[in-house]
Structure 1
Amino acid sequence: MNNSFPNSPQPQHPAFNVPQGNDDFDLKSILFSYIKYWPHILVCVILGGVGAYFVNKYTTPVYLVEATVVLNDEKPDLTSELFSATTYSGPKTNTENEMGIVKSFAVAEDALSKLNFNVSYFRKDFFGFNQIYGNTPVYVNVDWKHPQVTDGKIRLIVLDQDSYQLVVEKDGFYIYNPTDPFYKTSLNNTSVLEGVYKFGEEVLGEYFKFTISNVSSVAGDELYVQLMDTKTLAIGYMNRLNVVPINKQASILKLSIQTPIRKMGEDYLNKLMESYLDRELQEKNRVSESTISFIETQLSGITDSLSFFENRLQKYRSDNRVFNLSQEGNRVFENLVEFENEKARLEITLRYYYQLRDYLTNENLNGTMAPSIGSTGDALLNTLVANLIELQAENIRLSANFSDETPAVRELRLRIQNTKKVLSENVNSSIRNLESNVEQLDRRINVFEKEANALPETERQLVSIQRQFNINESIYVYLLEKRAEAEIQKASNFPKNSTLDYARAQFRPVSPKKSVNFLIGLGIGLGLPFLLITIKNILNSKIDDPKFLEVKTGTPFLGVIGRSKLDSARVVFEAPKSGITESFRSLRSDMSYLAPKEGNLTVLFTSSISGEGKTFCAINMASVFALTNKKVMLIGLDLRKPKIALDFNLTNEIGVSTYLSSNIHWKNVVSTTDHPNLDVILSGPIPPNPAELLLQEKFGMMLEEIKQEYDVVILDCPPVGLVSETKELFKFSDVNIFVFRHKYSEKGNYKILENLKQKGEISKVYTILNDFTVENSYGYGYGYGYGYGQDYGYYEDETKSKKRKKTRKETVA
């Protein structure tokens, strides 16, 4: 019998190297933690690509429709020069304001009111609804003055050429009330819509009123109809519209909208630009309309006077048979007519100034447009009036789309106030001048009236009547000329802004973006499993990586023990050719490096908690030494939870507790096994005070005597993390092996061993990882080499070895 171990120097065995430092980052182990799931990752990537393919194939394409508008800056006028040094400078066109107006609700509503977008028609396929625009097989005429159901979809089934059926396809109906268009209530009873109707027949109910006409549908056709009020549509299109300048320096706006139907988007943008320019033109036309209205007011009075004096003149001539004036009477008549015509024109202008002065004293900036006059002869006054009219038009436009606190609105109103102030001063000055001129004309007219009074009675009456007729005729002709000029001016008005490019849709859709979708699909297919694996690793509190023990414990790591497929713990005896047995052989070989001394060897096995496999390792370590013809003693020191007896088919009637609590010799508690080189001392009956028993000197004496008779002593100790007596047993061993169990031991359990080392309560300690499985820890199969080689053809499966052994026994029998 070989009673000693070779006395050789300890080499730098790679399995026993203690890691330097405590580096938590190990790129290789991190990569392996993901690579082992490569089949799942590959499946997810394929599914992501397939999903992207179907998204690209069946998603309704969306097209970008674009148009451009030119904002023409007006040339500075006299008024702008007056205010350039105070509150305003630069061109009048404000790009930001125009962008807000184009994108406003008012312009969108006006454009949509001219389009037939309130009724949408759809066909349904496997992947959803596809909208039809233009050539629809039926036409729905909706009375929007009546409350209507909106938003939800109604299925229309054509029964024959004359009738159809309505079925509610999708709920979510709201009631549009024309008296309160911005507030809609939900419709709960949608069944009121369903029924069979005739084409051309009015479908009338409390919350709906429309007529459906058959255009080209045939029996069996199915369509889906959705009603939407103009105000809701305007809000939606307003939010979808994008308006930006083509660059910071240019005054050209680019309008764009995304739509699944190119023609629909083009029609909307073209109509939107038309409404925008019409709105500007309407504001300009108010100037001419104001002038025409003023002239019409004057004409309405002068026409009656002209007719009256014309009839009176004819009657007087006929009654008195007087048709021509004398030379003196003709001279007086011409002078009176000349001065009175001039006075009449001044009085018309004066009435305009009075009206303008009344307007300027009105503080309501949102009131009527300032009146316009054809020609006052005052260039500054005309410029101020024209500028005030334009500022008022701009104020109305901005006020419809921006709040009163908007800086642009506040600045514009300040300009209006300043313009009114300057204009008011000029108007008052002009009124004073005109009133003075009228007084002078009155004095000259009085002179000629005295001369007329000296004429004969008949001629004097004729001069008076003909003078009134000519004055009214002259004023009437003058007003007609001015009205014609104003109407010509109105007809010649055009918006200062203009359309540069009409709406045009891009040839290729902007959505779905096939390449981007494929990248997103592959990214999700790759990223999702990585995310789930990362979360799984973060939430995993069990030790599943041998590298973890090397790095965290700072203790030499001996290797891993594979998972046994046998029901018995004696793998070494029952499956001598298995990989697990070979792992214990390797561990046995390492003992020459761990305890290179002469004499016997004492190995202690412990763990942090129960169930980590320390007893399994102790039994097989004892067994593998016994195979080398060394005399081995296995001692069960777990007095609280004994297990060895069951594994050797023994009864735990006597053992360590019996010896320590009585006067019998330790040899009387030794149990023999079916292997001649292996003896066992069981833990014995569970005592009430296991810790105190093991602390007796008697235990140390027993262990010394056992070491004299046995080559190897294996101590199966209680978990050091649960009981205290194991700490007192470390002094009796040459090698201490701390057992962790793969995917069972908590990661925090390494701190138990770390604390023992820091306190100096244990030395010559090594770790192993038990119950290790290759399939769950790809990448460590060759790094540690213990206990899982059967899958590579070097070792025999434990179950096969046991079956062969059983067959041989049956044959011998």
Structure 2
Amino acid sequence: MENIDNIYEVLKEEDGPDIKKIIYLLLRQWHWFLLFGALGFGGAYSYTRLTKPTYSVSGSILIPEKSNEMDLKDLFSGALQGGQDNTKINNQIEILKSSFTINHTLLNLNWRTSWYKKDLFIWNGIYKQEPFDVQETQSFINPSGIKIYITPTSQNSYLVSGVGELNVQGKIYIVKFNSKGEFGHPFRNEYFNFTILKKINISDIPDGKYYFVFNDQREMTLAYQIRLDATLKDEKSDIVLCTIKGEEPEKESDFLNELIKVYIRQKMEVQNEAQRRSLDFINTQLAGISDSLDRAGTKSTEFRSRNDIIDLGAEGTLVMNTLKEVESEKAQTQMQLDYFRNVLDYLEKNGDLTKLVSPSVVGIEDASLNALVVNLGELFSRRQVLSFTARANNPTLILLDKELAQARTRLNENIRNLIDNANRSINSLKDRQDKIILQLNKLPQKEQQMINIQRQFDLTNEIYTFMLQKRAETNIALASSISDVQIIESASPDTALSVGLTRKTILPIGFILGLSLPAGFILLVNFFDTRIRTQEDIENNTQLPIIGNIMHSFDANELTVFGNPKSNIAESFRDLRTNLEFMLSGTQAKVISIHSTNPSEGKTFNTTNLATILAMNDNKVLIIGADMRKPKLHRIFKVENEHGLSTCLIGADTFEQVIFPTQIENLYLLPSGPVPPNPAEILSKPAMKNLIEMARNQFDYVLIDNSPVALVTDGIIASRVSDLNIFILRYGVSHKHQLEMINQYAETKKVTNIGIIVNDIKVNSFGYTYYKYYQYEAYQKDYYAYGEDGVEKRRKKKVKKA
């Protein structure tokens, strides 16, 4: 049996928080929950009305990686090592997000002004719904960021006002003005110069209030760069998801779509830059060759006419053809050598590498050289774009610089080798040319001249034809060039997503937050509250029995049981009387001391009403006023206090002389008497014990009203002659630490046979024991509503009134 009890105690100690108790504590303050719940809901509703919703707009594009052709640069870049390298696509994302690209996008959109309209309490953007257009004077720059309010007053006029701060060379000026303006006429003051025009489709006067601001291109670029987010949709894909958040979905959609167009256009320009440079080079060369060809043709015709030469001989033709082939090959090699030296000069001077001409333009079909030149130009172009926004320590910029350095080194080595080869080829061709010229010198003089003129013409014509062919090829390449970037999904306001919580979510959250404030406060106060609030507060801090719970009295009269015997508080004293009969059943006479640790806990109130309920049960009851320091009983029963306990204990009066009847039948009072200078010493006299013995013989119950034990020792002295000592604890007033004092009295046997009464319990307050009193009160009202004949009194009253 002891083991079962021990297990129960352990389980009881390990129990978590009492949910019923928490619910009960919260429901007691239901009015605060109602108030704060309404405030939370109202605050949430106001928030939804006063806060502009934010939307997220997205668009996606495909930026594919280049084909993995096996060329020289792959050997240096480690392309054969395997694995996907997202460096290039990450570079493209940086270009897409760069201020250079965003600035060009905003320039194309021409968002010089932004318009807003007042809707109840907030100003909403009205993109593409502006009722007015703003024209600026080219010679005047209007300051940006200052709100200019427009209120139409008629078909032709409006009120205009402005307020804000203007920063001029570090000095702050306050801008504030109120004026009138006319539609279609310039508005001028010391700060602004603009003209407001009504749109063609606006016939009536636009109602409401408006304001607009002049946008600063640099600030707008920075703002969009911060809000723009571009990331890979998936680590293994080449699809880039562009997202931007804003208050106007249509405006943000237009920005994203234009941004993608600008990016594609820029990428096309970079891709076609080599062809454009080649075309410019070819056109320049053709202009010079064309003149040379005309002169050579004219010279050949004139020579033939003047010398009547129709054709060359067989030997002359052979010499001329051989010499022409050698000179053509030499001219082609010299052109290539000039190209190599030009490229080397650019590399050594760190010139603009985007101006390098493709080797294929001059007939160089070296695949590795072509790849190196194109790669170097692309890297330099990307670096130029990225340098507009990136700082020197930007990781992408550092990586590009490393790639540029490696590409320069590889191209430099390749060019030097090609220059050496070209020089050797030219020297070899010179030797062949010299041998052929010796053969030419053996021919007749006129034939020699004709051969020289004809070969000059043929050489020039051959170069001219070659350049025409290259120009045609370049034009075809430019015409057939398409962007490798594909738009997967355009941004649209219809697909915009609301950012953050929706209105349907905010309203219940506001309501719940409103409820949580009083709940948190109540639980926090309860956690730090040391006062007695529930029956568990007593049961958890003492093993002493609770012999009664006294309900709160709404009657100002101290003798509430006598004045209202059918009240619920009278029933609580009846319940106490029953418990006392069980606790004192073994004694002939019953002496009960009523104590409290501190004043104002209801000690005297409980003494008088307990004595009253005992007397109403045909018991002869005596109340002894042992509180000789602050007597109160004589005033309650309206008895003189000149004679009492103090005079009896010092022998001035006899026991019979200090016993006074009260207005309550069977209830007598022994008042405290005049306040003595030494109450504790008087109570310690043997006369006190003799007085109690006489009271036992003459009364059924003797109740002693004592002084607070925490202040004086009078009550402890009186407890020695008592059969039962009752300590009064008042709900909401007494503290839990007072139980420690009472426990100490019991443990040290300083006070024996102790019981506890909890006083002043309000309905729906003291733990779960209140429920029976609440039930009793309801039952009592119904019970006493009937008379002795069983007919409902209230119904009788209603019938009489009818």
TM-score normalised by length of structure 1: 0.81
In structure 2, which of residues 568, 590, 600 is the aligned counterpart of residue 601 of structure 1?
590
Report if aligned partners of 1:108, 1:234 keep a CA contact under 8 Å in 2: yes
1:162-201, aligned counterparts within 5 Å? Answer: 162-168=156-162, 173=164, 175=166, 188-191=174-177, 194-201=178-185
Quick one: percent identity of the two aligned structures? 29
**Superposed CA offset, 1:647-673 (max 9, x none):** 223454444444556665455544443
Q: Which residue in the other structure is 1:272 paired with?
A: 259
Aligned length: 767
In structure 2, which of residues 739, 742, 749 is the aligned counterpart of residue 753 of structure 1?
742
Q: 2:66 and 2:556 mapped to 1: Cα distance?
A: 98
Q: More relative contact order in 1 or in 2 (CA 8 Å, sep 6+)?
A: 1
**Superposed CA offset, 1:242-270 (max 9, x none):** 44444443322333445554433332221
Q: Which residue in the other structure is 1:8 paired with?
A: none
Q: 2:138 and 2:752 mapped to 1: Cα distance?
A: 93
Report if aligned partners of 2:532, 2:736 keep a CA contact under 8 Å in 1: yes
In structure 2, which of residues 274, 279, 283 is the aligned counterpart of residue 287 of structure 1?
274
| Residue identity in the other structure for 2:334 | E
Label 1:105 to 1:656 Cα distance change in 2 as closer, same or farther (>3 A). Answer: farther
**Helix, strand or coil: the match of 1:211?**
strand
**Helix, strand or coil: the match of 2:541?**
helix
**Helix, strand or coil: the match of 1:774?**
coil
Measure how far apart 1:785 and its partner are: 6.8
Q: Which residue in the other structure is 2:549 paired with?
A: 560
Label 1:135 to 1:30 Cα distance change in 2 as closer, same or farther (>3 A). Answer: closer
**Superposed CA offset, 1:391-421 (max 9, x none):** 3344445555555555554444434333333
Measure how far apart 1:617 and its partner are: 0.8
Label 1:214 to 1:258 Cα distance change in 2 as closer, same or farther (>3 A). Answer: same
In structure 2, which of residues 175, 197, 203 is the aligned counterpart of residue 213 of structure 1?
197
Q: Which residue in the other structure is 1:443 paired with?
A: 431
Deviates more, 1:583-592 or 1:690-699: 690-699
Q: 2:774 and 2:513 mapped to 1: Cα distance?
A: 37
**Helix, strand or coil: the match of 1:155?**
strand
Measure how far apart 1:771 and its partner are: 1.9
| Residue identity in the other structure for 2:211 | V
In structure 1, which of residues 215, 221, 224 is the aligned counterpart of residue 210 of structure 2?
224
Measure how far apart 1:126 and its partner are: 1.9
Consecutive unaligned residues of structure 2, counting only runs of 5 or more, are 1-8, 786-802
Deviates more, 1:777-786 or 1:101-110: 777-786
Q: Which residue in the other structure is 2:637 paired with?
A: 648
Q: 2:435 and 2:221 mapped to 1: Cα distance?
A: 70
Report if aligned partners of 1:74, 1:91 keep a CA contact under 8 Å in 2: no
**Helix, strand or coil: the match of 2:770?**
coil
Q: Which residue in the other structure is 1:804 paired with?
A: none
In structure 1, which of residues 46, 60, 66 is the aligned counterpart of residue 58 of structure 2?
66
TM-score normalised by length of structure 2: 0.82
Label 1:122 to 1:785 Cα distance change in 2 as closer, same or farther (>3 A). Answer: closer
Measure how far apart 1:223 and its partner are: 4.3
Measure how far apart 1:311 and its partner are: 11
Q: Which residue in the other structure is 1:346 paired with?
A: 333
Q: Which residue in the other structure is 1:29 paired with?
A: 21
Measure how far apart 1:607 and its partner are: 2.1
In structure 1, which of residues 109, 123, 132 is the aligned counterpart of residue 126 of structure 2?
132
Report if aligned partners of 2:157, 2:183 keep a CA contact under 8 Å in 1: yes
Measure how far apart 1:382 and its partner are: 1.5
Does 1:82 find its partner at 2:75? yes
Report if aligned partners of 1:148, 1:175 keep a CA contact under 8 Å in 2: no
Q: 2:391 and 2:80 mapped to 1: Cα distance?
A: 20
Report if aligned partners of 1:560, 1:785 keep a CA contact under 8 Å in 2: no
In structure 2, which of residues 598, 603, 611 is the aligned counterpart of residue 614 of structure 1?
603
Deviates more, 1:116-125 or 1:735-744: 116-125
| Residue identity in the other structure for 2:616 | L
Does 1:550 find its partner at 2:544? no
**Helix, strand or coil: the match of 1:382?**
helix
**Helix, strand or coil: the match of 1:136?**
coil
1:328-347, aligned counterparts within 5 Å? Answer: 335-347=322-334
Does 1:252 find its partner at 2:239? yes
1:351-750, aligned counterparts within 5 Å? Answer: 351-361=338-348, 368=354, 370-373=356-359, 374=361, 375-400=363-388, 402-403=390-391, 405=393, 407-449=395-437, 474-475=462-463, 478-506=466-494, 510=498, 513-524=502-513, 526-538=515-527, 540-660=529-649, 664-665=653-654, 667-675=656-664, 677-750=666-739
**Superposed CA offset, 1:172-193 (max 9, x none):** x45488xx9xxx98652332xx
Report if aligned partners of 2:354, 2:381 keep a CA contact under 8 Å in 1: no
Measure how far apart 1:198 and its partner are: 3.2
Label 1:640 to 1:358 Cα distance change in 2 as closer, same or farther (>3 A). Answer: farther
Does 1:237 find its partner at 2:224? yes
Measure how far apart 1:274 and its partner are: 0.9
Report if aligned partners of 2:547, 2:580 keep a CA contact under 8 Å in 1: no
Q: Which residue in the other structure is 2:114 paired with?
A: 120
| Residue identity in the other structure for 1:81 | D
Q: 2:389 and 2:82 mapped to 1: Cα distance?
A: 23
Consecutive unaligned residues of structure 1, counting only runs of 5 or more, are 1-16, 797-813
**Superposed CA offset, 1:555-605 (max 9, x none):** 322343222233331222333333222322221121111222231112222
Measure how far apart 1:301 and its partner are: 6.6
Q: Which residue in the other structure is 1:808 paired with?
A: none
Q: 1:663 and 1:629 mapped to 2: Cα distance?
A: 32
Q: 1:337 and 1:197 mapped to 2: Cα distance?
A: 82
**Helix, strand or coil: the match of 2:368?**
helix
Label 1:547 to 1:397 Cα distance change in 2 as closer, same or farther (>3 A). Answer: same
Report if aligned partners of 1:290, 1:369 keep a CA contact under 8 Å in 2: yes
Report if aligned partners of 2:100, 2:385 keep a CA contact under 8 Å in 1: no
Q: Which residue in the other structure is 2:149 paired with?
A: 155
Q: 1:405 and 1:58 mapped to 2: Cα distance?
A: 43
**Helix, strand or coil: the match of 1:612?**
coil
**Superposed CA offset, 1:202-248 (max 9, x none):** 44556544432221264464442332323333344344444444444
Measure how far apart 1:272 and its partner are: 1.7
